[in-house]
Amino acid sequence: MALVRAGKGKSEILEQTQAVVGVNNVSLKVPKGAISVIMGLSGSGKSTLARCVNRIIEPDAGQLLLDGEDYTTCTPGRMRDLRRRRISMVFQNFGLLPNQTVIDNVALGLKLRREPLAERHRKAGEMLEIVGLSEWASHLPGELSGGMRQRVGLARALATEADVLIMDEAFSALDPLIRTEMQDELLRLQTTLHKTVLFITHDFQEALRLGTRIAVMADGSVIRDGTPQEIVIDPQHDYVAAFTRNVDRARLFDAASVMVETPADGQGGQFVLDDTGQVAGWSAPGGAPASGAYIAVRPDTRLIDIARAASRGRGPIAVVDEAGRFRGRIPEEALLAGIAGDAETMKGTRPDA
């Protein structure tokens, strides 16, 4: 540890002590009820970090806080209690017991905390219903497909009613189609369950889809931390930029990130608003009367959908909120720049803006 504090590099320490520095000086706040993604390539220390969080791997230094309680050095009994009731985990290769039925696997956490059998099966049954595997309850995991097995793993993690969920490369062992399906499933569950999820992945696309916040790790340290849009707009780091380069911006960014808040454009044309702030129409440059030809989109509409609408419709693009009130307009060049990834035209979501 002294070497780490002295600021020696990872390879230097490996040479001197044969000890590998897994995770170094990572300070993360994982906000309640959101999906926080830790993204990094293999060897970057992300799985080690995840295992430090529930102390499967004991950190040599540092502090772990859960709701302000420091559990870094708590008694084994207290730690077990936390693992049984507060923090659960989903594993890359599912970690299911092959000789126990699906429902018994889901009930593992409940069994370990010694709940009676009937209660275990009742709760596990409910969880299986949530992940849509009720009719598989008495089958063995070996009879299920990969995606279904991970649903069982997810149900097992949910069954303990823990509010913190560590998902270590949970979808990485699944093939791409099933992976997307599971991501949707997780997002769907999250809308009702609001768990605090710490999601570990090496897949940047997955991080972008799931993450409310993303932390990018390399060599045991977090090198970039922010919302998906912040990271794509401004990677701040060559290593991060290598990932963001291939991002499909049209699907990541929304109308709010490219819109201009005035109703008038440079050529003199403008949206005409009525008293309640709703769009009454569009007047062409030169003061011609308002005509109805314009395209309305919501602030959270993705650029890809706006582009699709623009290619079909006629007239300028207005951003309106749920009540129909005018929020801004999107000039064509801003839409194109947003899709092309020209950071200078982006606004609103930039951290320094």
Residues interacting with another protein, by CB under 8 A? 51, 54, 56, 80-85, 87-89, 91-101, 108-109, 111-113, 138-140, 143, 156, 160, 166
Alpha-carbon dihedral 306, 308, 310, 311, rounded to 10 degrees:
160
Measured from the CB of residue 13, what is the shortest distance to another protein in angstroms? 25
Note whether 103 and 159 are within 8 A (CB): no
Measured from the CB of residue 170, what is the shortest distance to another protein in angstroms? 12
Measured from the CB of residue 23, what is the shortest distance to another protein in angstroms? 17
**Strand, coil or helix: 239:** helix
Angstrom distance (rounded) from CA 247 to CA 203:
12
Angstrom distance (rounded) from CA 199 to CA 334:
33
| Residue 41: C-alpha distances to residues 159, 218, 229 (Å) | 30, 7, 20
**Strand, coil or helix: 326:** strand
Residue nearer to another protein on the CB measure, 5 or 114: 114
Measured from the CB of residue 104, what is the shortest distance to another protein in angstroms? 9
| Mutual angle of helices 303-312 and 332-340, in 10-degree steps | 140
Angstrom distance (rounded) from CA 111 to CA 108:
5
Residue nearer to another protein on the CB measure, 37 or 137: 137
Measured from the CB of residue 58, what is the shortest distance to another protein in angstroms? 11
Q: Are strands 65-66 and 69-70 parallel, antiparallel or unpaired?
A: antiparallel
Residue nearer to another protein on the CB measure, 101 or 212: 101
Residue nearer to another protein on the CB measure, 107 or 222: 107
Measured from the CB of residue 49, what is the shortest distance to another protein in angstroms? 14
DSSP-derived letter for residue 5 is H
Residue nearer to another protein on the CB measure, 109 or 226: 109
Residue nearer to another protein on the CB measure, 98 or 286: 98
Residue nearer to another protein on the CB measure, 82 or 133: 82
Angstrom distance (rounded) from CA 16 to CA 3:
9
| Residue 93: C-alpha distances to residues 45, 103, 262, 347 (Å) | 18, 18, 52, 41
Measured from the CB of residue 158, what is the shortest distance to another protein in angstroms? 12
**Strand, coil or helix: 200:** strand
Measured from the CB of residue 68, what is the shortest distance to another protein in angstroms? 21
Phi/psi of residue 21, each to 5°? -85, 110
Residue nearer to another protein on the CB measure, 74 or 309: 74
Angstrom distance (rounded) from CA 197 to CA 103:
23
